[in-house]
Amino acid sequence: MTQPRPPAPAPAGPAPGVRVTDVDVEDVDELTRWALVPATGFMEPRPSAEDVAKRQRRVRGHRLLGGVVGGRLVGSLRSFDTELTLPGARVVPANAVSSVAVLPTHRRRGVLTSMMRTDLARARERGQALAVLIASEAPIYGRYGFGAATEEATWTLDTTSSRLREDAPADAGTVELVEAAAVRAQLQAVHDGARRARAGGLRREERWWDLVLDPGAVSGAWDARTRTVLRRGPDGTPDGYCTYTTTESSRGRVSTAQLRVDDLTATTPQALRALWELVASVDLVRTVRAAHRPVDEVLPWLLRDPRAAQRTGQDDFLWVRVLDTAAALGARGYDAPGRLVLRVHDEGGPAAGTVLLDAGADGVEVTRTDAEPDVELAADALGSLLLGGVDAALLARAGRLRARDGAAVPSAAALFRGAEVPWCATEF
Ligand SMILES: CC(=O)SCCNC(=O)CCNC(=O)[C@H](O)C(C)(C)COP(=O)(O)OP(=O)(O)OC[C@H]1O[C@@H](n2cnc3c(N)ncnc32)[C@H](O)[C@@H]1OP(=O)(O)O
């Protein structure tokens, strides 16, 4: 069996001439120097003293790394503890990586590589089996063993043809326009229920809510034109919410107003239907646009005219890095029973090795083995497989997964397939 291409070698330690340092969030001067790096990398304004103070509140408790060259701080990386939902609604701890940037004067000399090695090694030492991130560019993170694991879609709805089918799920629940800040705890509870139930879900920290509920904090945050609707089930318990922002426009006296769905979360099919029905029927609105949605959005299937809802965009979203293969594979659920020997290539990295995955009706067991593998794959491909959203057969066709024989690929595909397409609704 020929081996799949492993990610680039990852020897321990920083690149020559690069030092990795911990940044003290409480030291305002240090934080100010650090904050300039992601602001420059992400093409944001130079952070004011007020911005730094806000950032300090947001990142307190996070791990901030700096990349130093010649005594100057030129790289930034931030990580924090989160929870990720795996197939079977298993919620596991994960290391979330964000704010990655290197000054344009010091790019391509190993600064990111040095920071990433440090952060992932520490996550592994803490016992975390997984790391996650959202990639600004797709070629960057495969070399560090991250694989794209969830996708997001943008849906565009023509409201002139958006009547729902008679058989769309319905109940006697209610929808009510609310002030988001006043029902923060209810919104959080709904989101928490939803993210725990579906693979790809991530915990939202208090500061995530602080950010969206603080008008003007960042571009794209909920603002004065944003409205929030809380949905309650027949017994009065909140089971969904939607925040949306409308933009008025017209052609002569004909309205061409748009509605942007900012966040739409539901824990029941009835709540999901009620919220879609609401945003699809706001008077004067001609087009509804919903980004960061699942690729298998239910909307077209609720409509009499499914073509009124078009998938107008699709991208990778959450990238997963396995830091402990046995722990990660043992933590998720498997709908179909199966036995598979997997060899993971991760040169210099923590996921390397061969394991026997044995999933049965009583649960799953993952043990190290010397047996010859049924399938071989690199760590980044394992990250893509773990949440069940990427088909093992597709990876095999792309040469990213190699099988001992023709039967191993369908076995791997059946074993890893999730009941539902994984979806992550939380930007970080
Ligand atoms: C999780 C997040 O925060 S995503 C946000 C990432 N940040 C950004 O996009 C901001 C703008 N970009 C940057 O600041 C920098 O280009 C970074 C942080 C992406 C890369 O930093 P660098 O210090 O230049 O990376 P480093 O020198 O360690 O590169 C290591 C390898 O990755 C490659 N690489 C790095 N960035 C990229 C890229 N954007 N596209 C393709 N390859 C890349 C390098 O060529 C190098 O390859 P090699 O080992 O074969 O020579």
Residue 140 C-alpha to ligand 1 middle, in angstroms? 5
Q: Which tens digits make up the pLDDT trace of 59-86?
A: 999 999 999 999 999 999 999 999 999 9
Q: CA-CA distance, 200 to 86, in Å (whole number)?
A: 6
Bigger pLDDT: 215 vs 130: 130
Of residues 70, 69, 71, 78, the one with CA closest to residue 35: 78
Q: Where are the domains of the chain?
A: 18-150, 152-316, 328-416
By C-alpha distance, which of 243, 208, 217, 258 is closest to 96?
Answer: 208
Question: 5: pLDDT confidence band, cut at 50, 70 and 90?
Answer: low
For the chain, what is the total number of helices (H) and then of strands (E)? 11, 21
Q: Residue 113 class from Cβ within 10 Å (0-12 exposed, 13-18 middle, 19+ buried)?
A: buried
CA 138 to chain centre: 14
| pLDDT for position 109 | 96
Ligand 1 atom with the smallest distance to the CA of 141 is: 32
Q: Report whether residue 115 contacts ligand 1, using a CB cutoff of 6 Å.
A: no
| Mean pLDDT of all residues in 414-420 | 94
Q: Is 385 annotated as a binding residue?
A: no
Regarding the beta carbon of 95 and ligand 1, being less than 6 Å apart is answered no
Other residues' Cβ atoms within 10 Å of the Cβ of residue 160 = 10
DSSP letters spanning 203-243: PPPHHHHHHHTSTTSSTTS--TTEEEEEEE-TTS-EEEEEE
Residue 406 Cβ < 6 Å to ligand 1: no
Q: Which two tokens stand for residue 352?
A: 């390397």
Counting ligand 1 atoms within 8 A of each CB, the residue from 115, 140, 316, 317 with the most, and so the one to mutate, is 140
Where helices occur in 86-205 by DSSP H, the ranges are 111-125, 184-197
Ligand 1 geometric centre to CA of 50 (Å):
29
**Strand pairing partners for 418?**
none
Residue 314 DSSP class = E
> Are 390 and 421 in contact, with CB atoms under 8 Å apart?
no
The answer to whether 377 is annotated as binding is no
Question: Which residues make beta-bridge pairs with 319?
Answer: 133, 148
Q: Give yes or no for residue 356 having a pLDDT over 80.
A: yes
Is pLDDT above 90 for 173? yes
Predicted confidence band of residue 9 (pLDDT cuts 50, 70, 90): very low
- pLDDT, average across residues 402-422: 95
Could you write out the DSSP letters of every residue in 38-101?
HHHHTTPPPPPHHHHHHHHHHHTTSEEEEEEETTEEEEEEEEEEEEEEETTTEEEEEEEEEEEE
Q: Is 211 helix (H, G, I), strand (E, B) or coil?
A: helix
Residues counted in the chain:
428
Bridge partners of 153?
293, 314
Q: With 90 as the cut, is the pLDDT of residue 378 above it?
A: yes
CATH 3.30.1050.10 fits 328-416, yes or no: yes
Indicate if 428 belongs to the active site: yes
Among 191, 161, 205, residue whose Cα is nearest residue 263: 191
Tell me if residue 126 falls in helix, strand or coil.
coil
Instruction: Please identify, by atom number, the ligand 1 atom nearest to the C-alpha of residue 102.
Output: 14
3-state DSSP assignment of residue 345: strand
Mean pLDDT for 313-342 is 97
**256-288 confidence digits (pLDDT tens):** 999 999 999 999 999 999 999 999 999 999 999
ipTM value: 0.96
Rounded distance between C-alpha atoms, residue 18 and residue 77, angstroms: 14
Residue 1 has pLDDT above 70, yes or no: no
* Cβ of 37 below 6 Å from ligand 1: no
Helix (H, G, I), strand (E, B) or coil at 175: strand
Cα–chain center distance at 105:
30
Residue 334 annotated as catalytic: no
Q: Which token pair is 425?
A: 């609704």
CA–CA dist 379, 5 (Å, integer): 10
pTM: 0.95
Fold that domain 18-150 belongs to in CATH: Aminopeptidase (3.40.630)
| pLDDT given for residue 224 in this prediction | 83
Looking at the CA of residue 134, tell me the nearest atom of ligand 1.
1
Rounded CA-CA distance 96/153 in Å is 22
User: Percent of the chain beyond pLDDT 70?
Assistant: 96
Six-digit token string for 106: 């010091």
Q: Give the model's confidence band at 411: pLDDT under 50 very low, under 70 low, under 90 confident, else very high.
A: very high
Question: Tokens representing 95?
Answer: 């290391």
At position 94, the amino acid (one-letter code) is: A
CA 101 / ligand 1 centre spacing (Å): 8
Tell me the CATH number for domain 152-316: 3.40.630.30
Q: How much helix, strand and coil, in percent to the nearest 5, is found in the chain?
A: 30, 35, 35
Do 212 and 191 touch, CB atoms closer than 8 A? no
CB of 101 within 6 A of ligand 1: the answer is yes
For ligand 1, the distance from its centroid to the CA atom of residue 105, given in whole angstroms, is 13
Identify the active-site residue in 42, 141, 244, 334.
141
The answer to whether domain 152-316 and domain 328-416 are alike in fold is no
pLDDT class of 366 with cuts at 50, 70, 90? very high
